[in-house]
Amino acid sequence: MSAARPRWVFGYGSLMWNPGFAAPETIAARLHGWHRALCIYSEHYRGTPQKPGLILGLLPGGSCRGVAHRLPTKDYDAVRRYLIVREIDNDGVYEESVRPLRLADGRTVAALVYLADRKHRQFAGKLAADKALRFIRQGNGATGSNLDYVRNTLAHLTALGLRDRALEKLARSAPPQRR
């Protein structure tokens, strides 16, 4: 397997529940050396430039549990183009990297991983909980509400038997959104 054609992609946020392609295999996975954080202002998918939301990125340190989706062989090039458009071309706030993932069945695979670009203007860094909550409450963009994004992430982590206490606390603090 060559790093130029990784066969897996790591999902730690919306890629867990909405990869946007038919994955031949999906399995729980851990990325070492990086952790999940609400650290990116969303001005498109979960907010607007006037009222940004806050979405997940990967920051150095610790480890992150999520899922690995195996990329299809037949439509590999189309799926790679889709991922580049989805994760990079839209706002340019993620940097694509290939990192080793440890799969739940013990395999280690090279996977595409989308890391937060800490030099990008939409990089928020680690915000205090009250400030993060303000962005989560106000965010609503092309793919829905920011609060739904946080709750969907938590639901999928729970289904995998995983916890993210910081996300849980934010979700508990946010009242249901008015429609």
In the chain the domains, ranked by start, together with CATH numbers, are 8-171 (3.10.490.10)
pLDDT at 179 over 70: no
Q: So what's the pLDDT on residue 2?
A: 42
* Nearest alpha carbon to residue 125 among 97, 93, 164: 93
Structure confidence at residue 1 as a pLDDT band (50, 70, 90): very low
Q: What is the pLDDT of residues 81-92, one digit of tens each?
A: 999 999 987 678
Distance of CA 81 to the CA centre of its chain: 18
Query: Nearest 10 degrees: CA dihedral of 117, 119, 125, 131?
Result: -110
Has 87 been annotated as catalytic?
yes
pLDDT at 68 over 60: yes
* 161 vs 70: which has the higher pLDDT: 70
Q: So what's the pLDDT on residue 124?
A: 96
Residue with tokens 């709750």: 151
Model-level pTM?
A: 0.89
Q: Which of 25, 87, 95, 96 is catalytic?
A: 87
Record the tokens describing residue 7, joined without a space.
């066969």
Crossing angle (nearest 10°) for helices 165-173 and 129-138? 60
Q: What is the pLDDT of residues 27-54, one digit of tens each?
A: 999 999 999 999 999 998 899 999 999 9
What's the rounded Cα separation, in Å, for the pair 45 and 55?
9
Q: So what's the pLDDT on residue 41?
A: 97
What's the rounded Cα separation, in Å, for the pair 53 and 81?
25
Longest dimension (CA), the chain: 49
Record the tokens describing residue 124, joined without a space.
């928020």
What's the rounded Cα separation, in Å, for the pair 159 and 161?
5
pLDDT at 125 over 70: yes
Q: So what's the pLDDT on residue 174?
A: 79
Q: So what's the pLDDT on residue 177?
A: 52
Helical segments of 30-113, H only: 76-84
